[in-house]
Amino acid sequence: MKGDTVVTTGQLMGTVLAVQANFYRVQLDGEEREQGSREENSSPTASSFQSPVPSPQSLLCTRRTRLKKIGQQVMVGDRVIVEEPDWSGGRGAIADVLPRQSELDRPAIANVNQILLVFAVADPPLEPVQLSRFLIKAESTGVDVLLCLNKCDLVSPEEKQEISDRLLAWGYNPIFISVQNQINIDHISAYLNNKITVIAGPSGVGKSSLINLMIPDINLRVGEVSGKLARGRHTTRHVELFEMPHGGLLADTPGFNQPDLNCSPEELIYYFPEARKRLEVGSCRFSDCLHRDEPDCIVGDDWERYEHYLEFLHDAIAYQTFLKQQTDPESTLKLMSKGKGQNQYEPKLESKKYRRVSRRIQVQSLQDLDLESESEE
């Protein structure tokens, strides 16, 4: 028994490392791997080898029809029960999914313990608003956030101290690293032991290079920074968990430059640690205070990221309005993509006179005119 779950004979425990089409790659627990080794070594085929057959690290599994019927989704990071393992073929079937401790929607991954947010202090340059947006998105997940700043060898000690002091005021104690010169890599790895960690951040800051350094022989594709845009090109295309050398799992995620903020206006302030600290020692005059122009607001506007808060609050209000409009059949808003991960909500055109006439209707109108001309003749 593991927790409240009973594992019967012929069933194994494991963690989903990757999802591809209708197949799931499941890493078996340590004792389950030993069982697989014993099963293979006891087979007639295995006896013909001079050395023992290595125990399987993972099985390629399908999902039982019963889980599909009840709508049970299987996510990367899920703890699952596998039955009917075929050790020689490396196959199995997922019979059940254990309750999740946490669940992220983007990336879609379960049981995450922490988010490792990676930014660069140079090449591309550190953008405070972009960093704030990532931090707010990470805070909204409810899991621990670890901030890592790469390429520290490209800035002076004075600049490094200035960045550190600034982020401490935000409520974060950043870890400065250099993948190029292998500075503080072991320090980062120690934080990842025996945990499921999601690594995130904009493209081009060195996420894939960092993973390649921490997990030898993984050989993730590494991209370059665009000289014109000073931003990285996307290199990771899907979510996958990789096993750390000393325990723990690390999820590499697709890079993006502007994560969506889909929290409510009332929740937003609690994702700023420096503002949250003020709310812990007191309360505003009004229970529905949005911390803008309300009198006797305990949050105030004397903190650096207040302007960031106002910008994100505008986005949160627009998002909430859009959700309400979606439930209205006569909605007047539509979602428009601005590119680079940014969206905005624009009013729909209410009158048909502003809409372009279709080519089919135009052709029909011309045909009608021709018929009228012929009848007049």
> Does residue 206 lie in a domain region?
yes
How much is the pLDDT for 216?
Answer: 82
Number of neighbouring beta carbons within 10 Å of residue 97: 18
Among 225, 252, 279, identify where a domain stops: 252
At residue 54, the pLDDT reads 38
Residues 124 and 243 in one domain: yes
E strand or H helix at 169: helix 157-170
In this predicted model, what pLDDT tens digit does every residue of 316-358 receive, in sequence order? 999 888 888 877 655 555 656 555 445 565 665 554 545 566 6
Q: How many Cβ atoms are within 10 Å of 373's Cβ, its own excluded? A: 9
CATH number for the domain harbouring residue 298: 1.10.40
Domain assignment present for 368 = no
Instruction: Kindly give the confidence (pLDDT) of every residue in the chain, 377 residues in length, as a single tens digit, with 9 standing for 90 and above.
Output: 344 555 666 689 999 999 988 899 999 987 655 555 555 545 444 333 333 333 457 899 999 999 999 999 999 999 999 998 888 889 999 999 999 999 988 778 999 999 999 999 998 899 999 999 999 999 999 999 999 999 999 999 999 999 999 999 999 999 999 999 999 999 999 999 999 999 999 888 988 889 989 988 776 555 444 444 344 444 445 788 998 888 899 987 765 556 788 889 999 999 999 999 999 998 999 999 999 989 999 999 999 999 999 999 999 999 888 888 877 655 555 656 555 445 565 665 554 545 566 666 766 776 666 666 666 55
Number of domains into which the chain is organized:
3
Q: How many residues are recorded in the chain?
A: 377
Rounded Cα distance, 314 and 112, in Å:
29
Instruction: Give the per-residue pLDDT at 129.
Output: 94
Q: Which domain holds residue 36?
A: 11-99
| Amino acid sitting at position 300 | G
What is the reported pTM? 0.74
Same domain, 235 and 311: no
Q: Which two tokens stand for residue 84?
A: 């009917």
Is 260 within the bounds of a domain? no
**179 in the same domain as 59:** no
